[in-house]
């Protein structure tokens, strides 16, 4: 149920309008999530800047989309599951990759280590240990890339919570069958 409606560009606060126009230029439209964020120009601007900064990182779009899918599955966010299934496919992920990401795993060893770290971070960050960081290093992740994994998780927790609370209407190709197995087993 939609509890916070997205604002069209014309009805958004003046400070949000240029940011929404930037989103429209980048994506060809203003997805509902951004319209919801427009209620607070500060939130919208912060998210867009954070998103743009992370695109400059070393992880790359396929890994960022895998993290987004794992977070959306874990947090039960249908909006983000749909958006990142679409965006993940555009980033080159196969149907199998998309499904594995939702389960918090990957076929290759390095990516799988990153996904395992992601799952542990979401489930119980206070229980991460030096061994967990060492496993990432041994898989080939730099400390900077580890920080990017953390930042991507945080970014996606924010959008998951926002969309769940707002009841954002899905305006991406819909993922009909959320798995919810990872979320249920991890909690």
**Do 98 and 111 sit in the same domain of this protein?**
yes
**Do 52 and 86 sit in the same domain of this protein?**
no
**Do 30 and 118 sit in the same domain of this protein?**
no
CA distance 39 to 11: 10
**Do 64 and 52 sit in the same domain of this protein?**
no
**Residue 41 sits in a domain of what CATH number?**
1.20.5
On whether the CB atoms of residues 120 and 130 are closer than 8 A, the answer is no
Output the pLDDT for position 175.
Answer: 76
Output the pLDDT for position 178.
Answer: 55
Q: How far apart are the first and last CA of the chain?
A: 24
Average pLDDT over residues 80-85: 96
Output the pLDDT for position 187.
Answer: 33
Q: How many domains does the chain have?
A: 2
Output the pLDDT for position 1.
Answer: 79
CA distance 118 to 64: 11
**Do 97 and 118 sit in the same domain of this protein?**
yes
**Do 74 and 40 sit in the same domain of this protein?**
no
Task: Collapse the DSSP code of 4 into the 3-class scheme (helix H, G, I; strand E, B; otherwise coil) and give the result.
Answer: coil
pLDDT, tens digit (0-9, with 9 covering 90-100), for 118-169: 999 999 999 999 999 999 999 999 999 999 999 999 999 999 999 999 999 9
Output the pLDDT for position 83.
Answer: 97
**Do 8 and 30 sit in the same domain of this protein?**
yes
**Do 97 and 159 sit in the same domain of this protein?**
yes
CA atoms lying within 13 Å on the CB side of residue 38: 27
Q: Which domain holds residue 39?
A: 1-56
**Do 1 and 70 sit in the same domain of this protein?**
no
CA distance 104 to 118: 7
């Amino acid at each position: 149920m939609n509890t916070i409606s997205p604002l069209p560009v014309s009805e958004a606060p003046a400070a949000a309008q240029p940011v929404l126009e930037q989103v429209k230029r980048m994506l060809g439209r203003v997805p509902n999530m951004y319209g919801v964020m427009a209620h607070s120009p500060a939130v919208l601007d912060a998210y867009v800047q954070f998103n743009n900064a992370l695109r400059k990182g070393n992880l790359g779009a396929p890994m960022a989309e895998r993290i987004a899918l794992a977070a959306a599955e874990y947090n039960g966010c249908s909006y983000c599951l749909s958006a990142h299934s679409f965006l993940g496919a555009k980033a080159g992920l196969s149907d199998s990759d998309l499904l594995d990401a939702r389960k918090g795993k990957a076929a290759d060893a390095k990516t799988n280590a990153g996904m395992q770290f992601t799952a542990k971070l979401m489930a119980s960050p206070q229980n991460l240990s030096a061994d967990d960081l060492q496993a990432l290093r041994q898989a080939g992740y730099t400390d900077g890339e580890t920080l990017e994994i953390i930042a991507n998780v945080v970014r996606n927790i924010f959008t998951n919570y926002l969309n769940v609370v707002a009841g954002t209407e899905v305006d991406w190709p819909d993922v009909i069958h959320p798995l919810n197995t990872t979320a249920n087993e991890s909690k």
